[in-house]
Amino acid sequence: MIKHITLVAVISLCCANSHSQTYSSNGMVVSDNLEASKVGIEILKKGGNAIDASIATAFALAVAHPQAGNIGGGGFMVYMDDSSRVTTIDFREMAPVKASSTMFLDENGELIKGKNHVGALSAGVPGTVAGLYLAHQKYGKLPWEDLIAPAIDMANNGVSMSYTLASHAIKIHNSDNPEFLKSLYLDSLGMPLKFGSIWKQPELANTLGLIRDNGKDGFYKGSVAEEIERYMLENGGIITKDDLIQYKAIERKPLKGTYKGYEIFSMAPPSSGGVAMIEMLNIMEQANLEHTPFNSTEYVHLTAEVMRRAFADRAQYLGDPDYNIDMPIDKLISKEFAKNRLSNIDMEKASISDSSLFGQIYDGTNTTHFSVIDKDGNAVSVTYTLEQSYGSGMGSKSLGFIFNNEMGDFNPQPGYTNSEGLIGTNPNLIEPKKRMLSSMTPTIVAKDGKPVLIIGSPGGRTIINTVFQTVLCFLEYNMSIEESIEAMKIHHQWLPNKLFFEENKLSPDTIEALTLKGHDLQGRRYLGRLMGISIDKENGVYIGASDTSSPDGGAIGY
């Protein structure tokens, strides 16, 4: 057995950079937290494979990036091994057994505003630990305990409060938040921890120790499960020990598309990301982009119209495949369907988004993504989430982790759709043990069976579109990984009928021209927080880049 692995400083031993391209030839980890990326690289250097490094990185993020990194949430993994085999692991959260389609409605059948996003009732059964454990059992190389050990060290010994976390500490302390969240970043005097101070989490370290020693049973059975049930019962939640015991991560076939000779591998439902992204790439492939300059009025208009159609299809058809067996996925990702979708786009004016049709459900904005590749070319793309930033904000102090609020990703009010984006279509209504539809889009792009791009992003409802545009920039406009990540992004989700764009990256003339075409534009500081790796096969070089929108993120290679 390999000896206990401790976290060590590796910047002097590795190529590392927070916000520019990083080059290596043996392995690369890119995540939303530089310390977590270091953990992943150490695992690779100890002889672990990309799966091992992903597991260690994910647990490290649960310590150092608590606003999204988690053991109280869930997500998806896409894995391509060095023999070109591709698979995915679905560890999306599930509705508890006691959940129902009307659980967030009042006596008149109206949605109680905010109820599906706030409080313990909004928590789905967590899937992260089960998903990472399944990945290890099937594809890992190093002992499980050695992959959890660095995160335990971080929780016991403490992590330095970054500027981001210190800012969060002040905001959380001065706002109306759940008691557990308000206590998260306090010093011994009950004041918010300051920038540069050391933040220790002994309760989380204890929980991680049980997971280290007992595998997934350390979370889904025993004292942790008992405390989760007790806490939920005391605070209005409905997750029980039986829900935890019954939870299973699922290995699923990847969704596969193509774009001009490249293979696109992403998640199938209950993620909507792969379906929508491949549908959009298919439409763009049939458009004449050779004569459509990037960032031009024509490019932005066409891209927005393509997004509009894909998100309408998403809401109408997609949900948990174990509950929705009639999803026409093959049709939605076919070239013929894309041809029909392209044919009804008017390049002179924006389409109408009518609330009698379909749109996108609400998605939280705080998810996180990381990309990993090892020396043998095994590639992993993982996106996981708590839903909103810090999830429900609730958690048992004795366990030390935050519960998600993913029940808000279900359609909350059966049969009711409005122009603001509230959707009531059947495929994503709440049912016991059902997985809520997701926008997460972890993706691997390959050429001749070998990875050329590993990419993904947080961003809730914007994830699909930011990943789609990054892939398009990389493949169609021949941008580098860094250029593809930093390039201007837009977002349209059918309902509400608004075109979001990154401020300061779209010219005033283009904004005016798009407005004249009928688009209702709204600026945002940024869209997405992409973490990517490209592979220069000819030179045997891995190139990593972390989005500049992530102040704590970083790419590390060796």
Question: pLDDT per residue over 51-97, tens digit each?
Answer: 999 999 999 999 999 999 999 999 999 999 999 999 999 999 999 99
| pLDDT at position 15 | 65
pLDDT of 214 above 60: yes
| pLDDT at position 18 | 56
pTM: 0.94
pLDDT of 326 above 90: no
Instruction: Count how many Cα atoms sit within 13 Å of the Cα of residue 20 in the half-sphere of its side chain.
Output: 2
What are the catalytic residues? Answer: 367
pLDDT of 103 above 90: yes
> Closest by alpha carbon to 132, among 440, 454, 380, 392?
380
Q: What average pLDDT does range 150-164 have in this prediction?
A: 97
Label residue 354 by pLDDT band (50, 70, 90): low
521-524 β-sheet, strand order: 490-491, 499-502, 521-524
Instruction: Evaluate whether 423 touches 358 at the Cβ level (below 8 Å).
Output: yes
Q: Mean pLDDT, the chain, as a whole number?
A: 93
> Closest by alpha carbon to 162, among 343, 35, 323?
35
CA–CA distance, 192 with 127 (Å, rounded to integer): 31
In terms of Cβ atoms closer than 10 Å to its own Cβ (0-12, 13-18, 19+), residue 252 is middle
Q: What average pLDDT does range 190-201 have in this prediction?
A: 97
Question: Is residue 29 helix, strand or coil?
Answer: strand
| pLDDT at position 5 | 36
Instruction: Count how many Cα atoms sit within 13 Å of the Cα of residue 129 in the half-sphere of its side chain.
Output: 27
CA–CA distance, 199 with 221 (Å, rounded to integer): 28
Instruction: Evaluate whether 28 touches 533 at the Cβ level (below 8 Å).
Output: yes
CA–CA distance, 545 with 485 (Å, rounded to integer): 8
| pLDDT at position 378 | 98
Higher confidence at residue 416 or residue 402? 402
> Closest by alpha carbon to 309, among 457, 473, 492?
492
